[in-house]
Amino acid sequence: MRVFLETFGCQMNELDSELVRGRLASLGYRFVDDPDAAEIVLFNTCAVRDHAEQKVRSRVGIVGSQKRNGREVILGLLGCMAEREGLAILQKHPQVDLLCGPGELDRLPTLLENLRRTTAATRGERVALAGNRSRRTATLTAAEDELESLDLSRSFDPEGSSRPWSAYVRITRGCNKFCTYCVVPATRGAEVHRPPDAIVEECRRLVDRGVIEITLLGQTVNHYRYTHGTALTLDGREAPQVGPGLGAFRKAPAAGERVTTFAMLLARIHEEVPGLERLRFVTSYPRDLGDDVFDVLAACPRICRYLHMPVQSGSDRILKAMNRGYTVAEYLETVDRAIERLPDVSIAGDVIVGFPTETDEDFAATERLLRRVPFKNNFIFKYSPRPGTTAFDRLPDDVPDEVKRYRNNRLLALQAEVSRDVHAREVGRTLPVLFDRVGSIPLERRSDMTAAGSGGGVELRVAGRRTADDSMPRAEGEASRQWQALGRTAGDLIVAVDVEDEIAAEAMRGRILEVEVTAAEALLLRGRRPMPAIAPIG
Ligand code: SF4
């Protein structure tokens, strides 16, 4: 059967979709790029922001109207929206046939198979599996954690990936933090940590298949901590285990306890997977980034010195209302310690404006924080209340939308200044860049690059004209466009290099190449490939 799968939201969802795709492909399902050509349409949804949910509803509406007009197609919602809304979605959208929360994705093939059979037989049966098992089973045992099998049986297909050199590896699932605005603890359940051997093995297999960059994923990735010998499968292998309380990050392991910390896991992957050229991790919870992590980053050259460390607000009062668990001073202490130990570290953040009760003074404190920290970029969001969160239940959404918009725009402008300053420091340096995409822009328009994103994800849009200093030759027919190869430094800075044609740009994708940085803009660096040295004559 032909399947169309579209993913919304964060990197965790992208990985879930890749795993679902691999599992279904191994069972004979065929994936297509055109939803109209599919017999099964799946949307892997995100519930973190209202905007993402609206997009899904609009897609559901389109397929729904096709179904009313006689199209026979199975429509399924996967992920956090399916989990958060549960059966209410089926009542609101009768065109939806299947719901599957993020904690149930291992069961998707069975659900689909059942649905295919019942639909064929009865027309109109619908199936739903939502209600995350991992929060329900706080004393998770190895045998119950079938989700692990989805990661373990991963069939990474370089042929089927648009970026076959790059992959995500999940090290923790779920979250124990309960920030008051966030649905993740409810939709993805309690924090569960995968065994280190399974993670290292997955990295090794990916590198064997040509991957050169791996990003370790966790909602609070640096909370990774695995206590050996406490959770075993029936055949004696180590199994996923529920994360420890937050106090575990401040004390040494008890006598006789054998623990793999996040820093130890990073060091293990670096040492045991030597073919891996870049190792990244997102997202870090600021308070518990210890010196042990910074020491490993300093000692291991293939681990990227990049920290995505959301701050959310510069006001202690708002941080408390958000239940973030740190103060501004504690956040700054972590930043200062990181910069002291890793002078070339690159830091990105997330900020929410217009959280309930946020005053002009609170917002001014956030502006001061953005001026103080050399953020390479910040993902800035207007607060939107999410059903199922503490803030939705207890805090009135009392900041008017026009005030949120005003603050959002002010922070975007301020961050553009900060980013330009951070980027300017790189001019004149030669940096290794992993090229991953190709762009082309009309020559008559000025070059600019806009980045926007959610939960760590970035969309690039090329909008503008290049400067007139280009003297590179171009293929016939290319005279009116400038082709660019785009990539990222180890510190996750975007770099654009002008090239002669599309073929040259494509040839750079998936390769790490040195680039001389020649100019800095708010959203990217510009550079050129160093000229090869010419041997002296005679
Ligand atoms: S730490 Fe992140 S994922 Fe966890 S509740 Fe807070 S915002 Fe959500």
User: Could you report the per-residue pLDDT of 297-320, keeping only the tens digit for each?
Assistant: 999 999 999 999 999 999 999 999
Residues 188-207 as b/e (b if ≥16 CB within 10 A, e otherwise) read bbbbbbbbbebbbebbeebb
Q: How many residues does the chain have?
A: 538
Residue 430 CB partners (closer than 8 Å, separation 6+): 514, 515, 516, 517, 530
Tell me the CA end-to-end span of the chain in Å, nearest whole number.
68
Flag whether pLDDT at 80 surpasses 80.
yes
Closest CA to 358 of 310, 406, 393, 325: 406
Q: What is the largest CA-CA distance in the chain?
A: 86
pLDDT digits (tens, 9 = 90+) for 194-250: 999 999 999 999 999 999 999 999 999 999 999 998 877 777 788 888 887 766 766
Average pLDDT of every residue of the chain: 85
Which is more confidently placed, 447 or 263?
A: 263
User: Where does the pLDDT of residue 36 fall: very low under 50, low under 70, confident under 90, or very high at 90 and above?
Assistant: very high
Per DSSP, what are the bridge partners of residue 378?
A: 349
pLDDT winner (highest mean) among 59-73, 117-131, 367-381, 458-472:
367-381
Phi-psi region of 124 (alpha: psi -120 to 50; beta: other; left: phi over 0): left
What are the residues whose beta carbons fall under 8 Å from the beta carbon of 398, sequence distance 6 or more? 356, 357
- Select from 13, 49, 132, 220 the residue to mutate for testing ligand 1; criterion: most ligand atoms less than 8 Å from CB: 220
Distance 179 CA to ligand 1 centre (A): 5
Average pLDDT of the residues in 165-179: 92
- On whether the CB atoms of residues 11 and 49 are closer than 8 A, the answer is no
> What are the tokens at 184?
């993740």
* Tokens at 418, concatenated: 């900060």
Q: Show the ligand 1 pocket: residues with CB < 6 angstroms.
A: 175, 177-179, 182, 184-185, 219-220, 285
> For residue 285, with 0-12 CB atoms within 10 Å meaning exposed, 13-18 middle and 19 or more buried, which class applies?
buried
> 348 C-alpha vs ligand 1 centroid, how far in Å?
16
For ligand 1, atom 8, the nearest C-alpha belongs to: 182
User: Is the N-terminal amide bond of 390 cis, ω within 30° of 0?
Assistant: no
Token readout for 479 is: 């005279």
Q: What is the 323 CA–ligand 1 centroid distance (Å)?
A: 10
Kindly report the number of other CB atoms within 10 A of residue 450's CB atom. Answer: 13
Mean pLDDT of 415-421: 97
Q: Which atom of ligand 1 is nearest to the CA of 185?
A: 5
User: What is the three-class DSSP state of 361?
Assistant: helix
Q: How far apart (Å, rounded) are the C-alpha atoms in residues 531 and 13?
A: 41
Task: Please write the tens of the pLDDT for every residue from 449-508.
Answer: 433 333 333 334 333 333 333 333 444 445 678 899 999 999 999 999 999 999 999 999
Q: In what order do the strands lie in the sheet with 166-170?
A: 166-170, 213-217, 278-282
Percent of the chain at pLDDT above 70?
Answer: 83
Quote the pTM value: 0.83
- Residue 155 has a pLDDT of 59
| 385 CA → ligand 1 middle, Å | 15
Q: Bridge-partner residues for 77, per DSSP?
A: 43, 99
- Is 423's pLDDT higher than 90? yes
Q: What is the pLDDT of residue 496?
A: 96
Q: Residue 153 has what pLDDT? A: 61
Q: What is the rounded CA–CA span in Å between residue 143 and residue 133?
A: 13
Rg (CA), the chain: 24
Percent of the chain exceeding pLDDT 90 equals 57
What is the number of other CB atoms lying within 10 angstroms of the CB of residue 272? Answer: 13
Residue 375 pLDDT > 70: yes
* 371 vs 380: CA distance, rounded Å: 15
What average pLDDT does the segment 386-412 reach? 95
Distance from C-alpha of 524 to C-alpha of 84, rounded to nearest angstrom: 37
